Amino acid sequence: MTVCPQILSPPHRVPPLSEILSPVSRRLNRVNRLLRAWPESTSPLIRRMAAGAILRQGKLIRPGILLLITGHFGYRGNHDLPLAAAVEGLHLASLIHDDIIDRSAYRRGEKTAWQRFGSDFSLLLGDFFFIRSVARSLALEEKEIPAMLAEAARLMIEGEIEELAESHNIKISRARYLKIIEKKTASLFQTTCRLAARLGGAGSEETKALEEYGLNLGLTFQVIDDLLDLTGRPSQTGKPAFSDLREGRVTLPLIYALRAAGPAEQRQMKKELERIKTEKTQPVNQKLINFIRSTEALQKTFRQAEVLAARARSAVLRLRPSLHRRSLLQLTDFVLWREQ
């Protein structure tokens, strides 16, 4: 199923995420415990659902970034763990709601929340995590922190709304696509970096570098996500292939393919996209996949991701060297080359 193996073999060894995050792995475990303690005051049902959603959360990339940055600055306070939990909680809230909207049945090989608890419970569970995330950050005695988190949440929600509004719009431009994924995905990465810089007492130059890092790492993350929808093995990505196509999401590979298509091919693609919109259970027409593959759209998409990852890389290189900076650099490779 991997379409273009040449774009999936890195020129050097990319360490696994556990190795990259090893400087903060013990603290990440504590973040996970904090997050799991959130629903403790509530009813057993909410505790059970929340615990289920949290256990399956997976990578903890965002809290990892936050702790790597505070680690880089030698932060010694006690705001980093609750803040890392709040960032992950916000991410979790948005995943839970997105999966309802996208009707995604699987994520990382596990059933999504709405598949397990139904969409009604999951809607409210997402609300719970949204409110809890912001509420938890209120305890940190710094007014700007909850405001920054709430602003990131607003951008995420707006990005989702705008993405939904662009469904099935085959005329969407690359710039518009990038703007939407910036709001939807990159804003939380960027805010994570900004918050960490603030806690770490970063100077304005360092803060700017870290914001640039977060933005471009987040963009890379989403572009690769959209590429994996077309090229990834479901056994590795943990979700069915072509979910975006089915939901009418016109992602970067599709934008490039549409650009390369002649008017007749564009009409055919449009027809096929309309068909799979109404016939959700039918397989995606192999012709459409083959056409996309024939246009070099996948390669172009990967090159775009490479450019974004390089920007993240060069931004973080403006920090002084450290063990933690090394991990932040490795993360740009991990996000670019990941297969899940």
Interface residue list for a second copy (CB under 8 A): 42-43, 45-46, 49, 97, 100-101, 120-121, 123-128, 130-132, 134-135, 138-139, 141, 143, 146-147, 150-151, 153-154, 157-158, 160-162, 164-165
Closer residue to a second copy, CB minimum distance, 77 or 118: 118
Q: For the CB of residue 82, give the shortest distance to a second copy in the complex, in Å.
A: 14
- Minimum separation from the CB atom of position 72 to a second copy (A): 28
Beta carbon nearer to a second copy, 21 or 149: 149
Nearer to a second copy, 37 or 138 (CB): 138
Judged by CB, which is closer to a second copy: 185, or 327? Answer: 185
| Residue closer to a second copy, measured from CB, 130 or 213 | 130
What does the alpha-carbon distance between residue 18 and residue 28 come to, in Å, rounded to a whole number? Answer: 11
With 0-12 / 13-18 / 19 or more C-beta atoms within 10 angstroms meaning exposed / middle / buried, residue 55 is: exposed
**Of 333, 262, 320, whose CA–CA distance to 291 is shortest?**
262
| CA-based R_g, the chain, Å | 20
- The DSSP annotation for 130-199 comes to HHHHHHHHHTTS-THHHHHHHHHHHHHHHHHHHHHHTTT-TT--HHHHHHHHIIIIIHHHHHHHHHHHHH
